[in-house]
Amino acid sequence: MAIRDLIEREFQAFDKLAGETVQMWQSEILTDLMLVITQLGSTLIYVCVLVLVVGFLLLTSRFWEALILFISLLGSWLLNNLMKEMFARPRPALQHLVEATGYSFPSGHASISTAFYGMIGYLIWVSLKGQYRRAWHVPVLTCLVLVAIGISRVY
């Protein structure tokens, strides 16, 4: 047995364990919540948020921040697609909340959301840091949203 086959078998076992563990918690309310959360990682939502945030940044003469946000979204999308082709990891054979196509690793929802919403959180945090004493809540909320998006994809 080749080392690649052994590694693939381990990945499949991990996928099955993670999927079954998360799916044990299924409920109607949690499923509805996960459907909403997973939509935060959809292309339509990315584009809408990008237009709104970049529009705001441009109106407030924050051109560099607008460019950085655009580059973070485009760059993470390109890097994710490149890595999917490199790893070529098939999707686990589990029941999915939302059907997706293509390779499973890395998760586009998780990686692109991390770069995009992480950058938005960072820009908000930097702008509040000097003005607001409790700016610490911005990175905490950003991390909670990103973890929730990741969990919603496994759910």
**What confidence tens digit (pLDDT) does each residue in 84-100 have?**
888 767 666 656 565 66
Q: Report how far apart the first and last C-alpha atoms of the chain are (Å, whole number).
A: 32
Banded pLDDT at 48 (limits 50, 70, 90): very high
The yes-or-no verdict on residue 1 having pLDDT over 60 is no
Query: Could you read off the pLDDT of 113-134 as tens digits, one per residue?
Result: 889 999 999 998 888 877 767 7
Residue 74 three-state SS? helix
- Quote the pTM value: 0.77
